[in-house]
A and B are shown apart, each in its own frame.
Chain A
């Protein structure tokens, strides 16, 4: 990445305290350079989904700044640059597969003809063409997961956020998704991935952050983390880091 280009994602002092008083993120700082495959690991309640929701304008931030490719995250410019595949399957029950992609393209300002072409391409890539006219609730779990990722990629975002994309997915589909995500990364897309599967993070991510209680515990490459924690596997790193937190 050229030195004068802003990072894909920059968080400064990000704090989120929910209305019930729970502190999910506590002055969190993070920089994800453009083009990086970045992994976020931590137990349930660590703040991963809160962080992602804050970046995507899905929650009210208590304090701190978020910038996406140099744009404040609430701006229209920043929003266009992010694609989000959430942990929960949150598909519109009234729309079929093709409509899901087309309307998403519309929400992101894509011209109709461009959206049609891109939806066709996404359905082919994710093997959804035969289900184009099937409504989301009638899709299998694996198909829904594919559609979620296809929807996130519909507007060709340079920053793709995947919140546990392979949760509840069979091994075959997981490998297939890995292949596709790797290809995207190879084409220059910055990827922020959260996962509970340590082998997934090790397999895919160039840089891994361990978080707990809304704080960053450690950040490095998988090898760097193993060295820093004097551990043989990433699982050992995880156990040691969480125990020390």
Chain B
């Protein structure tokens, strides 16, 4: 790793750690409350799903939701702020290659998401017994998810012209699609056409891949879930790479 890339990555991680109450603690607390409220209080009234207790069933989806939102929100905010305050120029003028700048700006969101994921898993294990049945699938699913949403965050941060734009994508796209992506239920129980429509939701496949990694069960074959997530990640990585290599939207 070049010194420039190491410094930029370090700066992005420092930003996460300096604001840790907002960037790490708050998402863990809010997601843990979901586990407590939906899992423990309602769990006893809901029968098992795919042979798994409800309070266990929702944990993978909640971890996914917290992680991808963090990866996206971190990078969109950090890049937009750097652009808005123009300290991005200090980075763009430096002897770093376009891919290094892109990667350095992306890794802050990845680290933040991993801290949240690990913290939330530890909290969840205090109250429910969540297995990790397919660790390699879990690693692959989490890696692709973070690649997808950290790159998306960078892209939106570059295109955004106000804070509203970064929040818009999160509030009106990522969050609703995550809720509708089978975090709290199995889409198998949905009536037609909602079950079929769920399959055009990209986050559905991501939730399924992560759930398979934890529980060994999912609503679609795990290969398809990973392929869809990987395909989307490829698109977002290519998009952010193109923006940095051409300078479009970054440099006038």
Contacts and interface: CB of A to CB of B under 8 A. Distances in A.
Interface in A53-67: 53, 56-60
B41 interface: no
B167 interface: no
A107 B91 contact: yes
A197 interface: no
A107 B252 contact: no
A58 B85 contact: no
A41 B14 CA distance: 40
A109 B93 contact: no
If over half of B's interface residues share one DSSP class (helix, strand or loop), that class is named, otherwise mixed; here it is helix
A83 B6 CA distance: 20
A79 interface: yes
Interface string A76-111: 110110101010101111110001000111111111
A109 B11 contact: no
A60 B4 CA distance: 22
How many interface residues does chain A have, given as a range? 20 to 34
If over half of A's interface residues share one DSSP class (helix, strand or loop), that class is named, otherwise mixed; here it is loop
Nearest to A18: B252
A107 B96 contact: yes
Given A59-B252, A106-B3, A106-B10, A90 B89 contact: yes
A118 interface: no
B95 interface: yes
Interface in A137-157: 151
Contacts of B82: 92
A95 B91 CA distance: 14
B77 to A, nearest CB: 11
Contact of B95 (A76, A92, A93): A76
Contact of A109 (B3, B86, B246, B247): B3
Interface string B220-252: 000000000000000000000000001110011
A79 B94 contact: yes
Contact of A111 (B2, B3, B93, B246): B3
Interface of A: 18-19, 53, 56-60, 76-77, 79-80, 82, 84, 86, 88, 90-95, 99, 103-111, 151
27 contacts: A19-B252, A57-B93, A59-B252, A77-B95, A80-B95, A82-B93, A90-B85, A90-B86, A90-B90, A91-B87, A92-B11, A92-B90, A94-B11, A94-B18, A95-B11, A103-B7, A103-B8, A103-B11, A104-B90, A104-B94, A106-B4, A107-B91, A107-B95, A108-B94, A109-B95, A111-B3, A151-B90
